[in-house]
Amino acid sequence: MCGICGVFNFGTGEPADQAQLKRAADAMAHRGPDDEGFYLDGNLGIANRRLSIIDLPGGHQPLSDEDGSLWITFNGEIYNYRELRRQLEGRHRFRTASDTEVILHLYEEFGTGLFEHLRGMFAFALWDRRKRRLMLARDRIGIKPLYCLHEPGRLAFASELRALRELATRPLEIDPQSVYDFFGFRYVPAPNTFYRNVSKLLPGHFLIADSNGFRQERYWDLPGEDEKPRAAEDYAGEVLETLRESVRLRLIADVPLGVFLSGGVDSTAIVAMMSHLGVRPLRTFSVGFEEKEYSELPYARRVAARFSTEHTEVVLRARDLADELSRLIAFREGPVAEPTDVALYRMSLKAAETVKVVLAGEGSDELFAGYPKYAADRLAGLVSALPQEVTGTISRWLPFRQRRAKLAIEALSIPDEAERSATWFASFSRQEREALFSQDFLAQIDVAHPARVFAQYLEQVRERPPLKRMLYADLKIWLPDNLLLRGDQMTMAASIEERVPFLDHKLVELAARIPVRLLTQGFRTKVLLRQALSPFLPPETLRRRKVGFTVPVGPWFRKTLNSFVADLLLSPGARSREYFNAANMESFVREHFDGVRDRQKQIWALVNFELWMRERRGK
């Protein structure tokens, strides 16, 4: 795992500046504390910060091919690199034992067709000296991030925004539309970022830049259902074997490994398979809370005991969250999307004491329909047909503790599929956003943009069943722009690598081909996956309903962190920001403090945005 960055002055012809590259690389030294490297060729410069995982002494980057005509800076892991190397060795000379070198030789043979041969997670920049052409690429699912800065005649890129900022020729400007979108999505959906002229390279895409400019192209997409469906038992067996193979491939490393364990189905499956594959010692890491109703530590302990792991627990307290937020906002160069980020960071710091690689269960819900909304959404036609005053009254009168039922009613009341999709996981609903922001600010932006983002993906798979459309959109938006970005940034902030076996592209494609009727039954979710894992997992784990990892920020904001929130959001500085209607913002805060409504998601977004504004002012 590494941090990569670079500059290509394709239009200006100006020489790349190594001092500038050095500043950018230093800004993400946490991503690669083991080594750094630079390569300059006239108007092109690339750099790398390396976290050594494979070929510890020989994997220095940037790396070239035999004659120095191709150069690469690479972030990620190619899990089938040994197999690919055996296929290429007769025609190419290898100088290292690293997975990175395989990409160079695949490019020599297949050009931009190389991606179909790669099995892994990656973001890389490949420089073709003969053609004076730069290629940027990102893995199919978006496990590894890659940001691009577009300036006249100039392209810069980096693994993190804080590094990209060092490559800019002028200060980065905040994009108002992205501010609005953040308070809807909890994050900024790709290709946009918080900054004008800065974009994310989309998952499953590559970019080609030369003297004529640059273009992007998609090289992968999610397939549809099998035209000739098979029996559930056949799919379950194939899912089990593909997941087992995926876990086995992700054990390839020259450093110690561990696993993040919640005690739920997904992480327990990975622990079980690692145990079955003979991983010793098997180190597991869990995070929980003093508030027992929120903590999953008892479940994780039972799994750890069953599989005889070396188990480590971290307890996150309210004060820890307040202490870490500013630091993590600096790492992200933007607001922290969810409280879970802080918990993951603390767990990663503890894991870094004994391992350099961790496996995690991320992605399973988006493949196998694990969220309750996937079963509930079929009721949208019925609920949205009810008079608005009926659903509104039910929503208002639901007790504080029934926040999930309240969210479901609010989402299911929306007849439009795209608008409903944008509401399920939103921090602020569209109506709430229009109350939060000032009229002057709303006049600058497109209030329907969050729904339009979902609409463009839903339209691409219009012929598929509704549940498959939801899964497709979440895999394109929610998964890479929130969950995977969180996993990358919070683990890399602690200088460890996260691997996600459920997102092996072969398993992703297999899940996409499974008929929709096998994924949910009534209000039961993840049905096929539970069937597939039944030989490996204890019955009590398979029977556990989907809980979701929830940090108790709701009670913390009302009690322990009440003054922390008030000092931020009710301060003169926050109230005078050009974005907000100050009176309505205060109402959101007061409603939560007084127990009138659960506003924890809204307060979380506001707290993080205010801290980010202060951090930017400090710079």
Distance CA 327, CA 555 (A): 23
Write out the DSSP string of 253-281: -SS-EEEE--SSHHHHHHHHHHHHTT-SS
Closest by CA to 475, choosing from 270, 71, 237, 204, is 204
Joined together, the tokens standing for residue 249 give 């491939």
For residue 291, count other CB atoms closer than 10 A to its CB.
14
Return d(Cα 473, Cα 455) in angstroms, integer.
Answer: 9
- Does residue 2 carry a catalytic annotation? yes
Nearest CA-CA partner of 324 in 346, 296, 302: 346
The dihedral sign for the CA sequence 600, 604, 606, 611: positive
- Enumerate residues 6+ apart whose C-beta is below 8 A from 101: 63, 65, 94, 95
List, in order, residues 6 or more apart from 163 with CB less than 8 Å away: 3, 5, 24, 25, 27, 28
580: DSSP letter: B
Q: CB of 129 within 8 A of CB of 41?
A: yes
**Are β-strands 257-260 and 357-359 bridged in parallel, bridged antiparallel, or unpaired?**
parallel
Structure tokens at 532: 């597939």
For 328, phi and psi rounded to 5 degrees? -75, -30
| Cβ–Cβ < 8 Å for 147, 199 | yes
Q: What type of residue sits at position 67?
A: D
User: Distance between CA atoms of 32 and 28, rounded to whole angstroms?
Assistant: 7
Cα 195 from Cα 193, distance rounded (Å): 5
Determine the Cα–Cα distance for residues 238 and 244; give it in Å rounded to an integer.
10
Give dist(CA 300, CA 587) in Å, integer.
39
Q: Are 23 and 467 in contact (CB under 8 A)?
A: no
CB 147 within 8 A of CB 161: yes
Integer Cα distance of 543 and 89 in angstroms: 49
Exactly one of 2, 7, 28, 252 is catalytic; which is it? 2
How far, in Å, CA of 395 to CA of 409, rounded? 7
79-85: Cβ within 8 A, 24+ apart: 79/119, 79/120, 79/249, 79/250, 79/252, 79/504, 80/117, 80/118, 80/119, 80/120, 80/249, 81/54, 81/120, 82/252, 84/117
Active site residues: 2
